[in-house]
Amino acid sequence: MTANIINVKGPLLVYSAGGQRVRLTKEQAEQNRRLIVDTASRMFRLQGLENVAVADVMKESGFTHGGFYNHFKSKDELATEAVASAFDHAARKLSEDIASGNDPQKALNAILADYLSPAHRDTSTGGCPASAFPVDSARSGKGLQAAFADGIESYIEIFAAQMDGDKREARQRAVALLSGIVGAVLLSRAVKKGQPKLSDELLGSARKQICKQASQ
């Protein structure tokens, strides 16, 4: 059932697709908002920001187009929140995965190998926001770019914590590591249909070299 949210203050009046009035709590409204953000995040990562309309996101979320502006002022606001949310989830998972084993270095190498795999390149969920949103961020305004930059900083901090050397050197190594894995995935995706062997080579070579360097 699709629903059109009419009012977002206090108990919510919602009109279903059949015209029936339904009352939503504040908690339900927040759940609906999170659902829209999560759906937008996945669709934007898979298809690109310019190729996904607000109506598409709302339909995929199970709501009518009319309810969108009771949650967000614009598509840009939704996109900014979707980028921030994607990085929050990804950074949290990255930290948890590194800390999950007895050997953080081995855990990091496993994460890097998985990142530079055909499975991640071809993921149906959109994958990592760092490799899914760069083009959209470059073409967007300050708000979305700030959210993207915050996400990149969170990755750098996580990686730097695993690096040897002083704080400055550790950050430089983290920046190089992140740039390497993101660049490899971007290039691999960019040539996959035209030259699939090259696509695999880009990932394989990057995986071999980057994992080796990360272990040093």
**pLDDT confidence tier of residue 90, bands split at 50, 70 and 90:** very high
**pLDDT confidence tier of residue 10, bands split at 50, 70 and 90:** very low
Beta bridge partners of 14: 5, 22
3, pLDDT greater than 50: no
Residue 152 and residue 117 share a domain: yes
CB atoms within 10 A of CB 101: 12
Token code pair at residue 206:
């990057």
Residue 193 and residue 109 share a domain: yes
pLDDT of the residue at 113: 95
pLDDT of the residue at 147: 98
Residue 172 and residue 126 share a domain: yes
More confident residue, 52 or 215: 52
9, pLDDT greater than 90: no
Residue 98 and residue 175 share a domain: yes
Percent of the chain with pLDDT over 90: 73
Residue 107 and residue 28 share a domain: no
Yes or no: say if 62 and 5 are a contact pair by the CB < 8 Å rule: no
pLDDT of the residue at 16: 47
Total structural domains in the chain?
2
Asked which of 40, 72, 104 is the last residue of a domain, the reply is: 72
124, pLDDT greater than 70: yes
111, pLDDT greater than 60: yes
Residue 161 and residue 211 share a domain: yes
**pLDDT confidence tier of residue 12, bands split at 50, 70 and 90:** very low
Residue with tokens 């149906």: 124
Q: What are phi and psi of 24, to 5 degrees?
A: -110, 145
Kindly report the average pLDDT of the chain as a whole number: 88
Residue 46 and residue 91 share a domain: no
Yes or no: say if 16 and 2 are a contact pair by the CB < 8 Å rule: yes
Q: How far apart are the first and last CA of the chain?
A: 55
192, pLDDT greater than 50: yes
Residue 139 and residue 204 share a domain: yes
pLDDT of the residue at 11: 42
Q: Which residues contact 94 (CB under 8 A, 6 or more apart)?
A: 111, 155, 158
- Strand residues in the chain grouped as ranges (E): 3-5, 12-16, 21-24
The domain that holds 108 is classified in CATH as: 1.10.357.10
More confident residue, 199 or 65: 199
Q: What is the mean pLDDT of residues 31-44?
A: 95
Residue 111 and residue 15 share a domain: no
| Residue 151: HSE in the Cβ half-sphere, 13 Å Cα cutoff | 26
Q: Which of 21-35, 75-89, 116-130 has the lowest mean pLDDT?
A: 21-35
* Burial of residue 80 (number of CB atoms within 10 Å: 0-12, 13-18, 19+): buried
Residue 118 and residue 61 share a domain: no
Segments forming the whole domain that contains residue 67: 3-72
Residue 142 and residue 52 share a domain: no
155, pLDDT greater than 60: yes
Please name which of 32, 34, 126, 50 lies closest in space to residue 82, comparing C-alpha atoms: 34
Yes or no: say if 82 and 136 are a contact pair by the CB < 8 Å rule: no
Q: What is the mean pLDDT of residues 166-188?
A: 96
Q: Report in angstroms the alpha-carbon separations of 166 from 103, 155, 157, 161.
A: 21, 18, 13, 10
Q: What is the pLDDT of residues 40-67, one digit of tens each?
A: 999 999 999 999 999 999 999 999 888 8
d(CA 121, CA 125): 10
